[in-house]
Structure 1
Amino acid sequence: MDKISGIRVKDHGSLKLFTCQMMLIRSIPFLFSLVFFISVKSQSQTPKADSLLWVIKSTDDDSLKVRAYIDLGQEFINSDINQSIHYLDDAILIALKINYKKGLADAYNYQGRALANQGNFQDAIFINRQSLTEYQDLKDKTGEANILNNLGSIYYRMGNSSKALEYHFQSLKIAEEIDNKLRIGTSYNNIGTVYQQSESTLDDALNSYKKALEVFEEIDYEDGISTVAMNLGEIYYYELKYDSALRYHQIALEICDGTIDAPFPLTQMGEIYGAMGQFETANDYHRRALNISENLETKFDLTQSLIGYAKTQKRQGDAQQAIRTLERARVLAEEIEAKSELKDAYEGLSELFALLGDYKTAYENEINAKSVKEEIAKSSTDEMIRQLQFEFELSQKEAEIELLQKDTELKNAAVSNQRIVIFAAFGGLVMFLFISISLFKNNLNKKKANRLLQSQKEEIHAQREKVELALDQLKSTQAQLIHSEKMASLGELTAGIAHEIKNPLNFVNNFSEVSYDMILEIQELRSNNKSLNQGPGTAKTEEDQLEDELLRDIRINLEKVTHHGQRADAIVQGMLEHSKIRHGEKEPTNLNALAKEFLNLTYQSFKAKNKDAEIKLITNFDPELPKIEIIRQDFGRVLLNIFNNAFYVLNKKISKDGDLPSGEPPTLTLSTSIHTNPQGVKSAIISISDNGPGIPDKIKDKIFQPFFTTKPTGEGTGLGLSLSYDIVKANGGEISLISKVGKGTTFLIELPALEG
């Protein structure tokens, strides 16, 4: 940037003061290890470093010393970052002293890279901005494009995609102005990398990578061609365009085969051929990826290669070998703390053990996978919090620089006033008047500076409050995310259990019905035989009576088995319905009409079963409510479930007490409204309230869980609200409840409104 907090840096007085302060802070741990450093420094130097140190000692030319210190910093930037920063500090101090702008810009550039490699992003961004200012003053477009690209890469590593794209596009614009092909290709590749993080921008990423590949091929830059080809292959792999994915991975492999970059394209090519059923070719690629990773001792690449190999083994039907491969990947992922790969290993193991019928081990691995997911979600939230704190601290640092500049200006003004006093002593009465005016102006400047300082303090306080508010919002979002993950895991587990129970349950129901019919036939035959053999009026023997009682008891038992088997079948059907993937299409829907239709339908059904029950219905529809894009049939089931539950609790309360405690009639209230959030996004709210007994606080968190019900045995499966929760989520909405014991319950459904 050209400016720091709105003030262009022309003289380096306050900037030098800040640089010295940073060096002093960084040098504190260095002083404690000074003796050790002196004893090993000569041993740690390279021949090039020794040569550069000799130049520094033997020359009196400060500009040569600056270049030598910069080269020393560059020499150690990948091996000893602290040593690199130390040498670059020396280069900056000398460059500031002699006003050597080119050397100052280059020193800031490399120091920014070193700080970024160290993970000190805040200081890295600040120093890169200083370098950008110097390059802009020098009108060095290549240096300016380079720094903008560095800033974009830092913000990308911090997870700030919008800021990263802003800097990469600025770098691309300058690179195209000066026709620097290397910088153009690099910018397009970095832009594609940012776009690839979101499924909604994969097409943009694809276009950016293709442009980068064209530029790198034009200048025959093999490292760039290899990197971009792998990125293109990865996108086509995710889109299941296997021919294109194989073509680009082959291009990358021809360049990087045998290097640290080779395991990634080899693994993806193995997975593609496995998906195509060409297992011999797939296994060859997987083995090559594993050999390279093991020879180079790159544990992260080895972990990814093992996970990919296990997928192919599973497709090949070798579940036991796939389990052994994934167990090895799991151990490696835990060792290097690769959370995403650890999650993939647990999920793969869960699926394989389920296929083998070991549901206990499958469930344990599923629980472990969910635990890792929660850790990833928490670390993502923590990263967002650190990002907010970083932006806040960066703004504070820039404010401190501005205050330092103000302080320098005030000190310079004080020196000027002292000179005026000296001259005024020889000037007489007229000069005395001039001094008085100058002192008065100086006092005004100090007051102005104090007001500015107070204003900045108030602004910092306001920013701190914003950060705290954002932190609260992030914690709330994290809790919602964890709850959603739990509900998704329960749904998957429910589907698996229901599927496995269905077949044996069918056998139980079928054979119990057949056995019941057989008992009836036996009883009928016994009755006919006795009539023929003994004649009417003949008394039954004790043995006959015992057999009749046993047959009657067996028949009664079979009736109970059949009854409860049918109940269990209904529950399983509900579980399968709960987990079933819905393929209905969303369509713009008049929510008022839909809600009114299902309220009338549910109430008529309720009245048909409970003719004496009277429930008051109140509706309050917003006529301005926009149309909502939902799956109409599925969403009708949500309304049906909530209305049925409300009528059920109101009817139970009437049956128990004759009326509600307050003396008011049982009432159901349905209303709709429009809500607009602070960002101007509109949503529709459906509110369904009853004045029933309410829900205790201790069970509120369980209301939307599968199989949880407060109804007596046989009257509910506990799947209605869980299914409703999933449907609302699938339609992009949120469902929640507000309840107070003795007052009633309100369900709130929020759905995004159609734009326009």
Structure 2
Amino acid sequence: MKKIFTFLVLILVSSLASATLINRAQDTTEVVNLYIRGYEMRMTDARQTIKYADRALSIAKKLNYSKGVANAYRVRGIGEYYIGHSEKAIENYLSSLAAFQKSNDALGEARIYLNISSLYLDVDYDKCLEYLNAAVNLYHTKHIDNKNILASIYLNFGNVYQLQTNYSKALVSYTKSYDIIRQINNPALSITVMQNLGVIYSATANYSKAKEYLFKAIEQAKILDLNQPVAQINLTLAEIYIAEGDFKKAEECLTEGKAYSALSKNEKIDHSYQITSYLLELKRKNFEKALNYLQSIYRQDSIDYKSRNSAALSLYQANYRQEELKRKNEQMMLKNEQIMLKQEYARNTMIGTVILAAFLTLVIVLLVSNVKRKAETNKKLTELNTEISNQKDNLDRINHHLEEIIDERTKDLQLKNRKLSDYSSHLSHQIRGPIATLKGLMNLEREGLVSQEECIQMMIKCVSEIDDKIIDMSDMLHNPQRAGM
């Protein structure tokens, strides 16, 4: 019964653990889907990008999903950038950068450097190039295998050189980016590169080549429903048609482009349309409309100038705050490392103490066990010694008794030997007399002094006497009482 209950508990725990893992996996998948969806909306409706990123960020923070947090901040920064909020964009990028650096995500870090370079594109070319070079170095030193980001880096290098009117270097960078993009499947990036190539060829008055790239780009942008690229491409086409004197097509491009610009909600593009509209009316010699556009442009330029200065200041301040935060983080990391080292030392000390205590306990147990074994051995030896001592006493008593018996037997033998000697002497004395008589008779008979008959009678008498003596002696030997024993 206990085994069955244990088995059921294990099944229940496993089920709960599996359910938790499945729910977490589903939640992290939702985070990924949200920030990917937000990123895809950046050229259609950047405000939706921010909303998707906010939802992804909220879920990722609850899950403590560091990669999701980093990517959500990055996508949110991209959304802020596309609607022209540079200060909010840099704050989100820097938060994302800190998260990527914490998790040692080189690819994410390189992407952030690329995004920050885009922010400095209209503010500080040197700073922009600094971040682009940082991205390139990270790409090569960390051996990042991602062609999309390399193409984007070359694209931004081209943007800087274009703004610096260094069109030859810009064209080289755009061409490198375009060659990489043709090897991978990234339609949005392909549209951007073709658009920028069109701008370069337009700036160098190669209008046919410019329109070739721009028509391809606008066609793909409309298929993908990318409002902002459509608006920007129409703007470039309008400028080309104005330069060619085709005012009708220029106006068509401006009308269509303004509609897409309104959908993208980008103030910078709206301002660019006012400038192009002013140039169109000026070329048409419609000076009243041109003057209205010029006044609006002047007011907007004043606002933009202040905004750019404010944005630049905000970027530098944010960058300074980031450096300060980075310094504090490094100090905090150093402090945490010291704390961790102390904790590790304390943990190792504790482990060493536990091991030493266990070793001492084992030694004590072995010593106690050894003492017990020795005590038992001593007890057994004592019992054995006692038994041996008792056996020795018994042997001593037996030996003593044997000695007494031997002494007694020796005395008895001595007495019997003495008696036997006495008997022997007596027998010898008793028998010698008749034997001597026999010898004498034999001598007398030989000499003829005694008759033979008389000699025989006397010899018979002597033999009879000897026989009686022997019988008497035998009786005495076999009857101790008679012998005086």
Q: TM-score range by the shorter chain?
A: 0.5 to 0.7
* CA-CA distance at 1:164 after TM superposition: 2.1
Quick check: 1:304 aligned with 2:272?
A: yes
Matched, 1:113 2:74: yes
User: What is the rounded CA distance, in whole Å, between the counterparts of 1:423 and 1:220 in structure 2?
Assistant: 60
Counterpart for residue 268 of structure 1: 236
Separation (CA, whole Å) in 2 of partners of 1:266 and 1:224: 18
The superposition leaves residues 612-632 of structure 1 with CA deviations (integer Å, 9 ceiling, x where unpaired) of xxxxxxxxxxxxxxxxxxxxx
1:102-121 CA distances to partner (integer Å, 9 max, x unpaired)? xx6x4465355356456333
How far is the alpha carbon of 1:214 from its aligned partner? 2.4
Q: Is structure 2 residue 56 aligned with structure 1 residue 89?
A: no
Q: Distance in 2 between matches of 1:155 and 1:277?
A: 37
Map of 1:731-746 to 2, 5 A cutoff? Answer: none
How do residues 15-414 of structure 1 correspond to structure 2 at under 5 angstroms? 60=18, 64-77=22-35, 78=38, 79-92=51-64, 106-107=67-68, 109-111=70-72, 113-114=74-75, 116-117=77-78, 119-131=91-103, 133=104, 144-145=106-107, 147-157=109-119, 160-170=127-137, 173=140, 178=145, 181-200=147-166, 202-219=167-184, 221-257=186-222, 259-260=226-227, 261-294=229-262, 300-326=268-294, 330=296, 345-346=297-298, 373=305, 376-414=308-346
- In structure 2, what is the Cα distance between the partners aligned to 1:289 and 1:191? 26
> Which one-letter code corresponds to 1:126 in the other structure?
A
Is the contact made by 2:194 and 2:217 (CA closer than 8 Å) also made in structure 1?
yes
Q: Secondary structure at the match of 1:237?
A: helix
Partner of 1:531: none
1:195–1:204 Cα contact (<8 Å) kept: yes
Query: Which residue of structure 1 aligns with residue 415 of structure 2?
Result: none
TM-score by length of 1: 0.37
| CA distance, structure 1, for counterparts of residue 303 and residue 98 of structure 2 | 38
> Letter of the aligned partner of 1:185 in structure 2?
A
**Secondary structure of 1:236's partner?**
helix
The structure, 1 or 2, with the larger RCO (C-alpha pairs under 8 Å, 6+ apart) is 2
| Separation (CA, whole Å) in 2 of partners of 1:296 and 1:381 | 26
Indicate the SS of the match to 1:123.
helix
Cα distance in 1 between the residues matched to 2:316 and 2:128: 12
Tell me, yes or no, if the aligned pair for 2:238 and 2:251 is still in contact at 8 Å: yes
Q: CA 1:198–1:255 in structure 2 vs 1: closer, same or farther (change >3 Å)?
A: same
Cα separation, 1, equivalents of 2:351 and 2:144: 50
Aligned to 1:679: none
Contact 1:182–1:216, Cα closer than 8 Å, also in 2: yes
8 Å CA contact 1:227, 1:252 repeated in 2: yes
Cα gap change, 1:125/1:306 in structure 2, threshold over 3 Å: closer, same or farther?
same
1:73–1:85 CA contact under 8 A, matched in 2: yes
Q: How do residues 343-742 of structure 1 correspond to structure 2 at under 5 angstroms?
A: 345-346=297-298, 373=305, 376-420=308-352
2:395 counterpart residue number: none
For the residue of structure 1 that corresponds to 2:289, the secondary structure is helix
1:450-483 deviation digits (Å, cap 9, x = unpaired): xxxxxxxxxxxxxxxxxxxxxxxxxxxxxxxxxx
Query: What SS class does the counterpart of residue 245 from structure 2 fall into?
Result: coil
Answer whether contact 1:176 1:184 (CA < 8 A) is retained.
Answer: no
**Which amino acid in the other structure matches residue 240 of structure 2?**
I
| Per-residue CA distance 1:208-262 (angstroms, 9 max, x = gap) | 2112222323445432221111112223334444343333222212222474121
Structure richer in helix, relative to its length: 2
Task: State whether residues 175 and 184 of structure 1, in contact with CA within 8 Å, keep that contact through their aligned partners in structure 2.
Answer: no
Name the structure with the higher strand share. 1
* C-alpha distance in 2 between matches for 1:419 and 1:85: 41
Q: Any stretches of 5+ residues in structure 1 without a counterpart?
A: 1-56, 94-103, 136-143, 331-344, 347-364, 429-756
Cα 1:277–1:222 change in 2 (3 A) is same
Shift of 1:89: 3.1
CA distance in 2, matches of 1:227, 1:175: 27
Matched residue of 2:343: which SS?
A: helix
Note the C-alpha offset of 1:305. Answer: 2.1
* Amino acid across the alignment from 1:123: S
Deviations 1:178-205 (A, max 9, x none): 5x544443343244345445345x4333
Partner in structure 1 of residue 420 of structure 2: none
Measure the CA separation in 1 of the matches of 2:201 and 2:179. 18
- Which runs of no fewer than 5 residues in structure 2 stay unpaired? 1-14, 39-50, 79-88, 361-485
CA–CA distance in 2 between the matches of 1:58 and 1:197? 59
Partner of 2:477: none
1:309 CA drift (Å): 1.6
Percent sequence identity is: 15
Q: C-alpha offsets along residues 533-585 of structure 1, whole Å, 9 cap, x if unaligned?
A: xxxxxxxxxxxxxxxxxxxxxxxxxxxxxxxxxxxxxxxxxxxxxxxxxxxxx
Q: Hey, what's the Cα distance between the residues in 2 that align with 1:378 and 1:152?
A: 22
- Alignment check: 8 A CA contact 2:70 2:96 kept: no
Q: 1:171 to 1:227 in 2, by over 3 A?
A: farther
Relative to structure 1, the CA distance from residue 283 to residue 91 in structure 2 (aligned partners, 3 Å threshold; closer, same or farther) is same
Aligned residues of 1:271 and 1:282 also touching (Cα < 8 A): yes
Distance 2:144 2:302 in 1: 50
Displacement of 1:420 in angstroms is 4.6
Whether contact under 8 Å (1:112, 1:127) holds in the other structure is no
Q: Secondary structure at the match of 1:126?
A: helix
Q: How many residues align?
A: 314
Q: Contact between 2:154 and 2:176, CA under 8 Å: does it hold in 1?
A: yes
Q: 1:122 to 1:177 in 2, by over 3 A?
A: closer
Instruction: Please list the CA deviations of residues 705-755 of structure 1 after superposition, one character each: whole Å capped at 9, or x if unmatched.
Output: xxxxxxxxxxxxxxxxxxxxxxxxxxxxxxxxxxxxxxxxxxxxxxxxxxx
Deviations 1:2-57 (A, max 9, x none): xxxxxxxxxxxxxxxxxxxxxxxxxxxxxxxxxxxxxxxxxxxxxxxxxxxxxxx9
